[in-house]
Amino acid sequence: VNRGKKSVVLDLRKPEDAEAFRQLADSADVVLESFRPGVMKKLGCDYDTLRARNPKLVYAALTGYGQTGPYLNRPGHDMNYRGYAGELDQNAVAGGPPIQGNVQYADLAGGALTCAVGILGAVIGAKASGQGTMVDVAMMDGTMALQVAAMGSRRVLGATPPRGTDFLAGSLPNYSIYETRDGKHVAMGSLEPKFFKRTLELAGALDLLKLPMVPGPKGEPLREALRALIKTRTRDEWEALLAHEDTCVSGIYTLDEALENEQVKARGFVEDVGGKPAFGLPIRFSHAQATGGDSPKLGEHTAQVLGR
């Protein structure tokens, strides 16, 4: 997370460090903070204080629940925001409990990426108008915004389908996960009819097209038939048969396997840092170069940046 950055340590409770921070903000494009609402004001480093010194400043406050509302001072972590936002309930298998998983959707997508988009929009506006703004991003809000499929179903049907039963959550037999003969799994994303037909054609099972392709109980005969079909081969055998065709069927890899994937290697996304794998920047620029490097030690650049 901190690769390529400089690390400066300041104790904002000390007047001299708070002033050093304000001086850094005087020439900054962006200030990003994640304290609970009101903390930066107590420290004399809030948006109004900094804006008076630097009108072009974009001040981003990334918090769990935002700068307003009855939850603004509640503590929380990723699963709390996901739980309140309804996403954790949706991330589950039909009939089963919510699945915690190992991707921090609220922290990383609902929070960090949403905030980054807000910051970039605000910086463009500041460059054009000469006026910055405060960017208020709540991880709970951002996580709710990720649920476009569930919200779409609610708007159409009048209610959110139970977890694991929405169209893209596993209710469609041709858009689901299936276990292979070796106990591994494949992801069948053959959503469009042409992809599903090609999948069955290559598998020698075109007769399955006669079964109803619908969500819910009426689609169970097709789902059971697909379960039996996918069990006849290993994951890698299905990959060899289907992955290079217009089927949208792929193997489900472990992270270790993904690190060795030919596509990942071809993109050069995973880098070697200190003899260990590290993610690179998942964005490519045609006329710019992203900076790399290792993560700094805490406070490694304090003296350099502050001239102390």
Amino acid occupying residue 83 = G
User: By C-alpha distance, which of 52, 80, 48, 87 is closest to 65?
Assistant: 80
Q: With 0-12 CB in 10 A as exposed, 13-18 as middle and 19+ as buried, what is 244? A: exposed
Pure H helices in 86-219: 87-90, 114-129, 139-145, 148-157, 193-203
Pure H helices in the chain: 15-26, 39-42, 47-53, 78-85, 87-90, 114-129, 139-145, 148-157, 193-203, 220-230, 235-242, 255-259, 262-267, 302-306
Asked about 107 being catalytic, the answer comes back as yes
User: By C-alpha distance, which of 69, 63, 16, 70 is closest to 43?
Assistant: 16
* Active-site pick, 107, 136, 141, 166: 107
CA distance linking residue 37 with residue 40, whole number of Å: 7
* Active-site pick, 26, 48, 77, 182: 77
As a whole number of Å, the end-to-end CA separation of the chain is 27
Q: Residue 254 contacts by C-beta under 8 Å, 6 or more apart in sequence?
A: none
Amino acid occupying residue 280 = G
According to DSSP, the β-strands at 249-251 and 270-273 are: unpaired
| DSSP structural state of residue 297 | P
Asked about 246 being catalytic, the answer comes back as no
CA distance linking residue 289 with residue 199, whole number of Å: 41
Q: Which residues are catalytic?
A: 77, 107
